[in-house]
Amino acid sequence: MPTPKLVACATCPAVPAKLIGGQCASCRMKAIRGPAKYQWTADMDDQLRQVYRRSTNRLELTAELTKLCTAFRVPRTALSNRSNTRFEQLSSVQTVD
């Protein structure tokens, strides 16, 4: 059986098994999906992380998150999604000694 020729993505150096329109799945999603709705800065991420560290119970956390939502002018769902995705990324990078 002949081996199929693998072709590189037109946008990035990846050589996936399947190309659609000359692009890999990751590049296609970046092209299709619009820009981020809410712009996040490192300072905002730092403040969010500090709120989670400072809060000792759920009521304090709720109050602090409400203050952040007002200060950042973003809905609570956007803040929640950011904290979930950001902290998952950070926890996957950290190593256990």
Residue-wise pLDDT tens digits, 50-83: 999 999 999 999 999 999 999 999 999 999 888 8
Mean pLDDT of the chain, nearest integer: 82
Which residues, 6+ apart, have CB-to-CB distance to 48 below 8 Å? 68, 79, 82, 83, 86
Based on the domain organization, do 46 and 88 belong to the same domain?
Answer: yes
* Conformation bin of residue 21: beta by default, left when phi > 0, alpha when psi is -120 to 50: left
Which has more pLDDT, 97 or 16? 16
Full residue range of the structural domain in which residue 67 is found: 42-93
Does 82 share its domain with 55? Answer: yes
pLDDT mean over 5-24: 82
Q: pTM of this prediction?
A: 0.58
- Residue 89 shares a structural domain with residue 53: yes
Of the pLDDT bands very low, low, confident and very high (cuts 50, 70, 90), residue 92 is low
